[in-house]
């Protein structure tokens, strides 16, 4: 299996502080990783390196076999799908849902043109259908609820047929029904052998979709644990990561839960 992401001793230093501190991490083709960690741990910073938008201050980062600093990132970026809050703010609120997904095929955030290929429109419709957005095609992006917006962004990220899909807190801000709907849809994607390699940032083990295979836990910029979920998502590791005693459990449907121990 080839490397989708290979970080060796990567640090990101800002104002003398290491936001990501000597991280070595390897993601192989077909793996689905979740990044877990408390607020401010460095999860988004790590994702920004993985998306080629942030270069390490130290160490080396290779994405899809190309080393940052030695590759034209404009050739690399179309191979990476990103769904995150930062992107949502850049997308025009007045574009329709269909337009919002279609523009991704042309590497744009705006500039709706009339001459998109039929094949692209069919693909955009198919991705939106998979994400349960069929009835919202003509709705303005700016009028969507949080959950609808998140599903649109994932469809958009799939549009370039990426080899690597990055999801930054896809379930944040969703109600219970919205979260469960999204987790099921992401689970279906994760189990699709033709789907890209995936990395998802989250704060909650309940949001880990079935079919995800690996976890990286980070705290204060340092990796605490990295490897298969079965081995690494333990009560001990999670307690260490979030800084309080936690009990983690996995149910028969391949879903995870975590609870704090009661105060004495
Ligand atoms: N440009 C910057 N300059 C200085 N500090 C920064 C910069 N960008 C991020 N930070 C700090 O780096 C730390 C890690 O930020 P990051 O967004 O990666 O954390 P996170 O794990 O994604 O957090 P959250 O769960 O709250 O989203 C935070 O303390 C943040 O304030």
What's the domain range around 81?
Answer: 3-260
DSSP the chain: --EEEEEEEEEEEETTEEEEEEEEEEEETT-EEEEE--TTSSHHHHHHHHTTSS--SEEEEEETTEETTTS-HHHHGGGEEEE-HHHHHHS-TTSBHHHHHHGGGGT-SS---S---HHHHHHHHHHHHHTT-GGGTTSBGGG--HHHHHHHHHHHHHTT--SEEEEESTTTT--HHHHHHHHHHHHHHHT-TTSPEEEEEES-GGGPPTT--EEEEEETTEEEEEEEHHHH--HHHHHHHHTS-EEEEE-TTS-EEEEEPPP-
The pLDDT tens digits along the chain (264 residues) read: 569 999 999 999 999 999 999 999 999 999 999 999 999 999 999 999 999 999 999 999 999 999 999 999 988 988 999 987 777 778 889 999 999 999 887 665 555 555 667 888 999 999 999 888 999 999 999 999 888 998 999 999 998 889 999 999 988 888 898 899 999 999 999 999 889 999 999 999 999 999 999 999 999 999 999 999 999 999 999 999 999 999 999 998 889 999 998 877
ipTM of the complex: 0.96
Q: In CATH, what number is assigned to the domain containing residue 31?
A: 3.40.50.300
- Please tell me the total count of domains within the chain: 1
Please tell me the distance between residue 40's alpha carbon and the centre of ligand 1 in angstroms: 5
Pocket test for ligand 1, best of 20, 35, 42, 201 (most atoms within 8 A of CB): 42
Q: Is 14 in the pocket of ligand 1 (CB under 6 A)?
A: yes
Please tell me the distance between residue 184's alpha carbon and the centre of ligand 1 in angstroms: 29
């Amino acid at each position: 299996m080839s490397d989708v992401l290979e970080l060796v001793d990567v640090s990101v230093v800002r104002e003398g502080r290491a936001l990501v501190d000597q991280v070595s991490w390897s993601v192989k083709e077909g793996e689905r990783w979740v990044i877990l960690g408390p607020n401010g741990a460095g999860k988004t910073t790590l994702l920004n390196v993985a998306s080629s938008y942030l270069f390490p201050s130290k160490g080396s980062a290779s994405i899809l076999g190309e080393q940052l600093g030695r590759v034209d990132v404009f050739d690399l970026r179309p191979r990476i799908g990103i769904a995150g809050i930062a992107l949502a703010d850049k997308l025009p609120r007045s574009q329709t849902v269909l337009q919002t997904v279609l523009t991704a095929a042309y590497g744009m955030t705006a500039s709706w043109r009339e001459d998109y290929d039929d094949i692209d429109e069919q693909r955009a419709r198919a991705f939106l259908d998979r994400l349960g957005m069929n009835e919202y095609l003509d709705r303005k992006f700016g009028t969507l609820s949080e959950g609808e917006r998140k599903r649109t962004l994932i469809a958009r990220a799939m549009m370039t047929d990426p080899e690597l899909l990055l999801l930054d807190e896809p379930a944040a801000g969703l109600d219970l029904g919205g979260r469960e709907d999204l987790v099921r849809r992401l689970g279906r994607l994760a189990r699709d052998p033709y789907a890209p390699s995936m990395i998802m940032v989250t704060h909650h083990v309940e949001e880990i979709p079935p079919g995800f295979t690996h976890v990286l836990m980070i705290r204060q910029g340092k990796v605490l644990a990295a490897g298969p979920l079965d081995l690494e998502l333990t009560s001990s590791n999670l307690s260490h990561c979030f800084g309080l005693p936690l009990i983690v459990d996995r149910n028969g449907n391949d879903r995870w839960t975590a609870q704090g121990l009661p105060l004495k």
